[in-house]
C-alpha cells in the first residue's frame, strides 16, 4: 500500500503532526490512528487537498469511513484519507481535537450525529461552494 503524499498538519496548539495520504478506498491493517478525510484535486502546480473531517480510531481495519459522516464525505467527493498512527487512545483524542480546532473541517461541524448535507450542520464546501 503506497501512500499518495506526506504532509505535516499543525494543530491549534502549534504542534505539528506527520501524516501519510492514501486513497479513500485503501484497506488498512489493525492499528490506532488519527485520520483526516480530504478531497484530492488537481491544480496547475500539481495536487492539492481540501480537509473535510478529522477523526480518530482504535482500529483502522474497521474503516473510519463507515460511520455517521459517510453521507457528508460522499456528497462532497472526499477521495483521500491522511493517516497518523497513534496507539494511545488519550493521545489520539487530543491530536484529533487539536487538529479539528485548527482546520475547522465542515463534516465535523456539529461534532455529533448525522449531517444531512448540505445543512447548517454540514455546510457546502469546495468544490460545491464555500
pLDDT reading at 118 higher than 70: no
Mean pLDDT of the region 118-125: 48
Q: Which residues contact 100 (CB under 8 A, 6 or more apart)?
A: 54, 108
Domain ranges of the chain: 5-108
pLDDT reading at 120 higher than 70: no
Q: Which residues contact 106 (CB under 8 A, 6 or more apart)?
A: 52, 53, 72, 76, 122, 123, 124, 125
Mean pLDDT of the region 90-119: 76
The residue that leads in pLDDT, 76 or 130, is: 76
**Can you read off the three cell numbers belonging to residue 75?**
456528497
Per residue in 46-97, pLDDT tens? 888 888 889 999 998 886 555 667 777 777 788 899 999 999 999 999 999 9
Location of C-alpha cell 487537498: 49
Q: What is the model's pLDDT at position 111?
A: 47
For the chain, what is the total number of helices (H) and then of strands (E)?
A: 2, 5
Q: What is the model's pLDDT at position 64?
A: 57
Q: Percentage of residues in the chain with pLDDT exceeding 90?
A: 39
Largest CA distance in the chain: 40
pLDDT reading at 113 higher than 70: no
Q: What is the model's pLDDT at position 65?
A: 59
Please state which CATH class domain 5-108 belongs to: alpha beta
pLDDT reading at 124 higher than 60: no
Amino acid at each position: 500500500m503506497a501512500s499518495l503524499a506526506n504532509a505535516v498538519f499543525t494543530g491549534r496548539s502549534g504542534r505539528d503532526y506527520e501524516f501519510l495520504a492514501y486513497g479513500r478506498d485503501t484497506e488498512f491493517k489493525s492499528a490506532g490512528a488519527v485520520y483526516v478525510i480530504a478531497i484530492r484535486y488537481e491544480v496547475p502546480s500539481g495536487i492539492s487537498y481540501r480537509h473535510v473531517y478529522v477523526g480518530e480510531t482504535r482500529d483502522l481495519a474497521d474503516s473510519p469511513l463507515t460511520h455517521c459522516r459517510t453521507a457528508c464525505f460522499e456528497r462532497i467527493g472526499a477521495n483521500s484519507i491522511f493517516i497518523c498512527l497513534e496507539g494511545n487512545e488519550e493521545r489520539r483524542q487530543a491530536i484529533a481535537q487539536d487538529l479539528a480546532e485548527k482546520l475547522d473541517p465542515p463534516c465535523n461541524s456539529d461534532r455529533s450525529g448525522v449531517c444531512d448535507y448540505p445543512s447548517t450542520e454540514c455546510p457546502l464546501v469546495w468544490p460545491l461552494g464555500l
